[in-house]
Amino acid sequence: MKTLTLGIPSKGRLMEATAELFARAGHAVERNGTDRGYRGTLQGWPGIEVAFLSASEIASQLRAGKIDLGVTGEDVLRENIAPQDSGIRIVQRLGFGPANVVVAVPCCWLDVAAMADLDEVAEQFYRNHGYRLRVATKYRNLTRRFFAEKGVSGYRIVESAGATEGAPAAGSAELIVDITTTGATLSANQLKILDDGLILESCAVLACRTAAAQGAAPLAEKLRTALSA
Amino acid sequence: MPGRSSQEREALARQNAAIMAVFERAGFDHIAPDIIQPADIFLERSGEDIRARTFVFNDPDGNELCLRPDLTVPACRYHLSHAGDPARETRYCYLGPAFRFPDELLSPQEFHQAGVEWFGGTDPVGAEARVIKLTISALEAAGLSRLQVMLGDLGLFNALLADMPMPDRWRRRLRHQFWRPAAFRALLEHFAKPAQAKRTSISENVDAVAGNDAMAATAARLAQLAIPRVTDRSIGEIAERLVEKQADRSEQPLPAAMIETIEAYLAMEGVLADIPAKLAGLSGTEKFAGARAWFERRIAALEDQGLNPRRMQFNANFGRDLEYYTGLVFQVEVEARNAPLVVAGGGRYDDLLRDLGAPSRIPAVGCAIHAERVKAVLP
């Protein structure tokens, strides 16, 4: 059988939790010393080769077909893979790394509770200020899809690489779409989540290329057992 | 398949030449608007949904540019920079490439549009009928037959709303959401029972401005909650919306009969020639009666062009995904192997030139033919 390549986060909490889960499932992740640590194996699973990659690379390399399976955040996956792309599927939610992708606006917008308010504000803002509401985010595609679904138009996205929550106070955007776990960072920045502003309840997932689904099934099963133990 | 062989190129060029000859013979000035356009004009006008489908890039100075996603805005910009008096009647035609992502994350697509734009026409109904006729003639010159024409009319919908007694801001919101059927439906339901609206996270803010000087109450509430003000949105803008929300609570609900009328109108479809009789059955009053008379003139104008309204279709919902149109919308379909294929579309867009910088509202009507689609369905 053909060897499958599994992308695993190369650093951070996601890497630790992934390594811990695989060890619990009886197939510890091992780095190859010879490959400067960018390649590895799964103990007792010769059919799978491991590639250590960043979370966003895992999504794009899945799409490009350079890896067959990957562990990454659902947020990153849904941002990078179009919903109509049937070539990639999530085979198992892994539970760790929980975080919500949300729409948040300044607390001082006392008149805004929901996405429908946002649409009206977008119109009012353009009329009075001559430019569109700016949404700071690294989730360009998730934002577009969600806003379109909620019937909000007349905004524009400004790309934000980091510290998105600071954009409204800094004057570089009016609102944000960002990931949050407890909401504390948002409140500290005087931002509030809209009542219907939850875009995605994300966590780490095992995803695979549809073509590799058969090979991925036994691994997903092992992880499922380890998760429920 | 990338690129075109010499035979494919020649066949497309021959077809497009036949289309353009029809437009030029009709007296439309054949112009070549720029392919590279400033991005913000497209983006600020239409927002993020168009941006997602537009090929945007930066020049060395950091300015955002784009490959034009259609030729209407470039033709308008051409007009505004060349015409001494932009309000004077001018008729253009064009042929050239346009660029779009068919969908997010998929590869960009280039295609050719051949079209006409008619600015400042003094006989709106006549100009619209003429543009439809020209579109059909051009498609027939390219070799197509058995064309199906479908019409919609945003003017009728606006006239219907204008007749109904309700607060202006409700009308404005309904018009704004016309493009988004789900949001439109939610709005209608809200207006049907404004007093029963659920409490939300901002209901207490609405309570706070009730019966008070709204500006002062809004400022006091921000101070009370110790919330700093950020962004360019002013206290006045926030207060204005709180006041509207407060007013909504005590507004008379939209009567069920009105909602039924709106829904009956939106469900209206069928043979164009039968539509006036169906419109007469709706309980509109003065302005809507005016719009009905207008619609009858439209049918007469189409007949004057030699078109048969018995062989055209009308659908009140048609145009709900085409945001910049203001009145007539139309599309031309042709039978293809599996399903009908839309090969051309157009309509009236009276706000666009002013939005792009013209000193006043200038009537505008146009159409665009999708050249590659025509080629695809030609025998």
Domains of chain B: 1-120+366-379 (3.30.930.10), 195-252 (no CATH)
Q: Do B230 and A84 touch (CB under 8 A)?
A: no
Q: Any chain A CB within 8 A of the CB of B177?
A: yes
CB atoms within 10 A of CB B13: 14
How do beta strands B328-334 and B147-153 pair? antiparallel
Residue A225, token pair as written in the block: 């057992």
**Closest CA relative to residue A69, chosen from A61, B213, A124, B146:** A61
pLDDT in tens, B48-105: 666 778 888 888 888 889 999 889 999 999 999 999 999 999 999 999 999 988 765 5
pLDDT of residue B160: 86
- Six token digits for residue B165: 């007694």
- Whether residues B183 and A107 touch (CB distance < 8 A) is answered with no
Strand, coil or helix: A155: strand
Model pLDDT for residues B320-333, shown as the tens digit of each residue: 665 678 889 999 99
How many percent of chain B have pLDDT more than 70? 93
Residue B278 near chain A (CB below 8 Å): no
Is the distance from CB of A50 to CB of A8 less than 8 angstroms?
A: yes
Q: B202 vs A110: CB contact, 8 Å cut-off?
A: yes
Chain B residues within an 8 Å CB radius of A190:
227-228, 230
Q: Answer whether residue B149 shows pLDDT above 90.
A: yes
Using the 8-state DSSP alphabet, how is residue A40 labeled? E
- B312, B140 Cβ separation under 8 angstroms: no
Beta pairing class for A39-42 and A45-53: antiparallel
Q: Which of residues 129-148 of B touch A (CB under 8 A)?
A: none
Q: Shortest CA distance to A140 belongs to which of A159, A162, A168?
A: A159
Per-residue pLDDT of chain A (229 residues; tens, 9 = 90+): 678 999 999 988 899 999 999 999 999 999 887 656 789 999 999 999 999 999 889 999 999 999 999 999 999 999 988 887 888 999 999 999 899 999 999 999 999 999 989 999 998 998 899 888 999 999 998 998 899 888 888 888 998 978 999 999 999 999 999 999 999 999 999 999 999 999 999 999 999 999 988 888 999 999 999 988 7
CB contact under 8 A, B183 and A129: no
- Contact between chains at B48 and A156 (C-beta distance less than 8 A): yes
Measure the CA–CA gap between B77 and A75, rounded to whole angstroms.
Answer: 40
| Angstrom distance (rounded) from CA A104 to CA A175 | 6
**Structure-model confidence comparison of residues B48 and B129, the more confident one:** B129
Cα–Cα distance for residue pair B222/B227, rounded to 1 Å:
5
Overall size of chain B counted in residues: 379
Question: Same CATH topology for A4-98+203-228 and A99-201?
Answer: yes
Secondary structure (3-state) at B183: helix
DSSP string, A192-224: EEEEEEEEEEE-EEEEEEGGGHHHHHHHHHHHH
Distance from CA of A41 to the nearest CA of B (A): 32
From A121, A141, A168, residue closest to B230, measured CB to CB: A168
Nearest chain B residue to A120 by CA distance is B173
Interface contact B30, partner A, CB < 8 A: no
Residue B190 bridge partners (DSSP): none
B168-177 and A115-129 helices, crossing angle to 10° = 100
Q: With a cut of 80, say whether residue B107 has pLDDT above it.
A: no
Size of interface A-B (CB pairs under 8 A): 123
Which residues lie closer than 8 Å to B142 by C-beta, 6 or more apart? B15, B16, B18, B19, B374, B378
Tokens of A161: 């690489």
- Closest-approach residue (CA) in chain A for B246: A111
- Calculate how close chain A gets to B53, using CA atoms only, in Å: 11
Kindly determine whether residue A151 and residue B238, on different chains, have CB atoms separated by under 8 Å.
Answer: no
Closest CA–CA distance from residue B186 to any residue of chain A (Å) = 10
pTM of the prediction?
Answer: 0.80
Q: Over the stretch B326-368, which tens digit does the pLDDT of each residue have?
A: 889 999 999 877 788 899 999 999 989 998 889 999 999 999 9
What's the pLDDT score for residue B102? 72
| Contact residues on chain A for B217, CB-CB shorter than 8 A | none
Residue of chain B minimizing CA distance to A143: B48
User: Is B173 in contact with A84 (Cβ distance < 8 A)?
Assistant: no
Q: How far apart, in whole angstroms, are the C-alpha atoms of residue A166 and residue A189?
A: 7
Query: Do residue A110 and residue B180 have CB atoms under 8 angstroms apart?
Result: no
In this model, does residue B316 exceed pLDDT 60? yes
Query: In which band, very low, low, confident or very high, does the pLDDT at B301 lie, cut at 50, 70 and 90?
Result: very high
The H or E element spanning position A104 is strand A99-106
B51 interface with A at CB cutoff 8 Å? yes
At residue B199, the pLDDT reads: 84
Q: pLDDT tens digit string along B244-300?
A: 999 888 888 888 888 888 888 888 999 999 998 888 887 656 667 777 888 899 999
| The B64-67 sheet, strands edge to edge | B36-38, B64-67, B55-58
Contact A113 B200 (CB under 8 A): yes
Quote the tokens at residue A37.
């640590």
Mean pLDDT of chain B: 89
Any idea which architecture A99-201 has in CATH? 3-Layer(aba) Sandwich (3.40)
β-pair type (A204-209, B109-119): unpaired
Residues B10 and B5: their CA atoms lie apart, in Å, by 8
Please list every residue in chain B whose beta carbon sits closer than 8 Å to the beta carbon of residue A85. 105
User: At B219, is the secondary structure helix, strand, or coil?
Assistant: helix
Domain range annotation of chain A? 4-98+203-228, 99-201
Distance CA B41, CA B326 (A): 19
User: Burial, B114: exposed, middle or buried (Cβ in 10 Å; 0-12, 13-18, 19+)?
Assistant: buried
pLDDT at B62: 80
> Mean pLDDT over residues B238-248, rounded?
92
| DSSP, residue by residue, B19-51 | HHHHHHHTT-EE----SEEEHHHHHHHH-HHHH
Calpha distance A62→A59 (Å, rounded): 5
- Domain A4-98+203-228: top CATH class: alpha beta
Contact in structure between B43 and B51 (CB atoms under 8 Å): yes
Cβ contact (<8 Å) for A81 and B105?
yes
**Contact between B228 and A108 using a beta-carbon 8 Å cutoff:** yes
Residues of chain B contacting A153 with CB distance shorter than 8 Å = 46-49, 179-180, 323
Q: Which of A120, A132, A195 lies closest to B47 in CB terms? A: A132
Q: Which residues of B touch A159 (CB under 8 A)?
A: none
Residue B45 is predicted with a pLDDT of 65
Q: Do B105 and A150 touch (CB under 8 A)?
A: no
- Residue with the bigger pLDDT between B28 and B286: it is B28
* Cα–Cα distance, B138 to B143 (Å, whole number): 9
- Chain B partners of A121 at a C-beta cutoff of 8 Å? 233, 241
Return the pLDDT at B122: 92
Any A CB within 8 A of B25 CB: no
Cβ-based burial of B104 (10 A; exposed 0-12, middle 13-18, buried ≥19): middle
Which residues on chain B are in Cβ contact (under 8 Å) with A86?
Answer: none
Ordered DSSP codes for B86-154: TTS-EEEEEEEEEEE-SSTTSPPEEEEEEEEEEES-S-HHHHHHHHHHHHHHHHHHTT--SEEEEEEEH
**Of the candidates A110, A143, A195, which has its C-beta nearest B205's C-beta?**
A110
